[in-house]
Amino acid sequence: MLLAETSRTPAPVAAPDAEDWRELASCRGVASSVFFSPDGERGHARARREANAQQICQDCPVLAQCRDHALTEDEPYGIWGGMTEADRRRHARRLRSGERR
């Protein structure tokens, strides 16, 4: 007896919604100390840590969502979406002054 073959259409892959973009982030599972500075960190140590964090962010599939989150929520600390605290402050100043990207 031959069984009739059924045609199955694969289920569409859902795009991450506003909450589960973090599940797809390249930083998932990386120590938070890579993205957030310890008390008193300055100079070359801070620059090195930030560069390492930004390298992780560089090819992240949800970089834009992470950056948007940080800018919308006004995250005061850490590397978010490849932006440092100083980057986000500069961005906010430009927006307040009406400067375009």
Q: Is 27 annotated as a binding residue?
A: yes
57 is in an annotated binding site: yes
98 φ, ψ (degrees, to nearest 5)? 85, 5
Cβ contacts of 63-71, under 8 Å, gap ≥ 24: 65/16, 65/18, 65/21, 66/21, 66/22, 66/25, 69/21
How many angstroms separate the CA atoms of 79 and 37, rounded?
Answer: 9
Is 97 labelled as part of a ligand binding site? no
Q: How far is CA 87 from CA 6, 18, 54, 64, 82, in A?
A: 55, 23, 12, 15, 9
63 in a labelled binding site: no
Positions at the binding site? 27, 57, 60, 66
Positions at the binding site for [4Fe-4S] cluster? 27, 57, 60, 66
